[in-house]
């Protein structure tokens, strides 16, 4: 029996179903197990681009280049460089005329999502995006249970402020379940966050 | 005597005025001479962000990291990496709810702008952005005369197609003057492209 949400969407949240899916995926060349969240999102964004659904890219890793070697007749080689802290989020682009901006993080914790995954700069950036009328959110993955949630910027800001005011340094999983939106894994695309945004009618 | 455009904007296009400005700037700590186009745009984007006008960043340079050293007690050092070709444009962000996406290039030529400054991937990316309802353009600088033009994506596509169909491999400066929009240098911000977009009422 296939259960459907009132909106006609297939019910996919059941743990047994997920376990079955996992088993299937192990035997399946389409498997996304073993994939990182980043790989899943890159595949999703590629799907969006090739199907003209959205144009969203992961930004390159910010690097401070110190020393570059220019061997004759071959490509320049960076010999010394350092990772810099990102001042923005990792993903951005355009969907349906709207600006999309998000960060994706995962945790091994089962009970909460540590806010140390985000930096002050990123939160400030996301607030500026909201101010300019963009859509911003985070995609959170609980790695041990392989659950994905979309949490709107304004909700993240709430928990960030709570921490800044001396409150807990993480968001409880219960709070994420209550105030976030689970995104079921799919095959193509793997993490259909645009569909979720559409359903939520953000903005 | 200060001339004004009908919209109240100070007239800044006159060559003699520009020469005077250059002279002044040489003695002036606010000088932007000697600044690269990238620095001018970074300063402009910083101005936009601090004044809540727009949230636009330059993307980090795309790098292929091959070898990273992790010395104990100190930061990871990238020991071998290579520059990759960008598959998108360098700048993007949000202004007034709208997605902004552009590339900036300069030439030493006085008569034309070589299309070799752009890659097929970037043109394809910009076309996809237009399809999704985003605003895309290029900022072109003629270095020897220090003139800046904004050229809308659709105009760039036209000249790109002309080249792909066997036509000239550059855009004549006359064509840029006729179909593009000059942006006068300012002090704060230095290259006020958002004002130009507003005037043009793109989208």
Can you spell out the DSSP letters for B92-134?
EEEETTEEEEEEEEEES-SSEEEGGGS-HHHHHHHHHHHHTT-
Of A7-21, A49-63, B63-77, highest mean pLDDT:
A49-63
Torsion, CA B184, CA B190, CA B196, CA B198, rounded to 10: -150
**Tokens 């709570």 sit on residue:** A162
User: What does the pLDDT read at residue A169?
Assistant: 98
Asked whether residue A88 is marked as a ligand-binding residue, the answer is: yes
What is the arithmetic mean of pLDDT over A24-34? 43
What CATH number does residue A193 fall under?
A: 3.40.1350.10
Asked if the model's pLDDT at residue A23 lies above 50, the reply is no
Closest listed residue to residue B45, CA positions, set B202, B199, B152, B188:
B188
Is residue B113 domain-resident? yes
Residue A80 is assigned to a structural domain of this protein: no
> Residue B3: is its pLDDT beyond 80?
no
- Is B54 within 8 Å of B194 (Cβ atoms)? yes
Res. B26 pLDDT band, cuts 50 70 90: very low
Torsion over CA: B107, B111, B116, B119 (sign): positive
Confirm whether B7 is domain-assigned: no
Asked whether residue B158 carries a pLDDT value surpassing 70, the answer given is yes
Domain assignment present for residue A48? The answer is: yes
Which residue of chain A is at minimal alpha-carbon distance from B90?
Answer: A59
Cα A13–chain centre separation: 18
Read off the pLDDT of residues B67-109 as tens digits, 9 standing for 90 and up: 999 988 788 999 999 999 888 999 999 999 999 999 999 999 9
Q: How confident is the model at residue B19 (pLDDT cuts 50, 70, 90)?
A: very low
pLDDT in tens, B88-99: 999 999 999 999
DSSP for B24-77 reads: HHHT-TT--TT--HHHHHHHHHHHHHHTTS-EEEEPPPPEEEEEEE--TTS--E
* Range scoring the smallest mean pLDDT among A131-135, A173-177, B9-13: B9-13
Contact A59 B54 (CB under 8 A): no
**Rounded mean pLDDT, A49-59:** 97
**For residue B99, what is the nearest residue in chain A, using CA coordinates?**
A99
What pLDDT, on a 0 to 100 scale, did the predictor assign at position B148? Answer: 97
Residue A73 lies in a domain: no
Measured between CB atoms, which of A62, A81, A88 is closest to B81? Answer: A81
Domain presence at residue B66: no
Per-residue pLDDT at A75: 84
B7: enclosing H helix or E strand: none
CA nearest to B140, candidates B105, B172, B174, B179: B105
Distance from the Cα of A166 to chain B's closest Cα (Å) equals 28
What's the confidence (pLDDT) of residue B34? 60
At A96-127, the pLDDT tens digits run: 999 999 999 999 999 999 999 999 999 999 99
Q: Tell whether B8 lies on the interface with A, counting CB pairs under 8 A.
A: no
DSSP one-letter string for chain A: ---B-TTSPBP---HHHHHHHHHHHHT-TT--TT--HHHHHHHHHHHHHHTTS-EEEEPPPPEEEEEEE--TTS--EEEEEEE---SS-SEEEEETTEEEEEEEEEES-SSEEEGGGS-HHHHHHHHHHHHTT-EEEEEEEETTTTEEEEEEHHHHHHHHHHHHTT--SEEEHHHHHHHSEE--B-SSSSB-HHHHHHHHT--
**Contact criterion met (CB < 8 Å) for A92 and B87:** no
Pull the structure tokens for residue B89: 């444009």
**Would you state the pLDDT for residue A87?**
87
**Is the predicted pLDDT of residue B201 greater than 60, yes or no?**
yes
Length of chain B: 203
For residue B203, the model assigns a pLDDT of 54
> Is pLDDT of A56 > 90?
yes
Contact A129 B95 (CB under 8 A): no
How close A9 comes to chain B (CA, Å)?
25
Residues 31 through 60 of chain B touching chain A, CB cutoff 8 Å:
49, 52, 54-55, 57, 59-60
User: Is B107 annotated among the ligand-binding residues?
Assistant: no
Contacts of B70 by beta carbon, 8 Å cutoff, 6+ apart: B76, B77
The structural domain count of chain B equals 1
Q: What is the pLDDT of residue A34?
A: 60
Provide the pLDDT for residue B93: 98
Q: Which of residues 127-156 of B touch A (CB under 8 A)?
A: 128-129, 131-134
List the structure tokens of B152.
Answer: 């809308």
A103 CB within 8 Å of a chain B CB: no
Is B75 part of any domain? no
Residue B120 confidence (pLDDT): 95
* CA distances (Å), origin A138, targets A171, B95, B183: 13, 21, 37
- C-alpha distance from A25 to closest chain B C-alpha (Å): 30
Confirm whether B93 is domain-assigned.
yes
Structural domain of residue A30, as residue ranges? 15-60+86-200
Residue A107: the pLDDT is 96
In sequence order, the β-bridge partners of residue B65 are B81
């Amino acid at each position: 029996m296939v259960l459907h949400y009132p909106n006609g969407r297939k019910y996919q949240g059941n743990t047994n179903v997920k376990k079955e899916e996992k088993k299937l995926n192990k035997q399946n060349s389409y498997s996304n197990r073993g994939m990182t969240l980043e790989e899943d999102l890159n595949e999703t964004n590629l799907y969006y681009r090739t199907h003209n659904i959205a144009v969203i890219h992961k930004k390159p890793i910010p690097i401070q280049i110190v020393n570059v070697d220019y061997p004759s007749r071959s490509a320049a080689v960076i010999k010394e460089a350092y990772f810099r802290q990102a001042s923005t989020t990792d993903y951005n682009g355009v969907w349906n005329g709207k600006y999309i901006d998000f960060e994706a993080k995962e945790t091994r914790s089962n009970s909460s999502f540590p806010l140390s995954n985000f930096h002050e700069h990123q939160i400030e950036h996301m607030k500026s995006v909201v101010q300019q009328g963009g859509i911003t959110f985070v995609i959170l993955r609980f790695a041990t249970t392989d659950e994905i949630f979309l949490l709107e910027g304004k909700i993240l800001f709430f928990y960030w402020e709570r921490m800044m005011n001396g409150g807990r340094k993480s968001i409880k999983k219960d709070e994420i379940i209550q105030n976030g939106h689970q995104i079921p894994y799919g095959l193509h695309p793997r993490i259909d966050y645009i569909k979720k945004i559409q359903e939520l009618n953000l903005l």
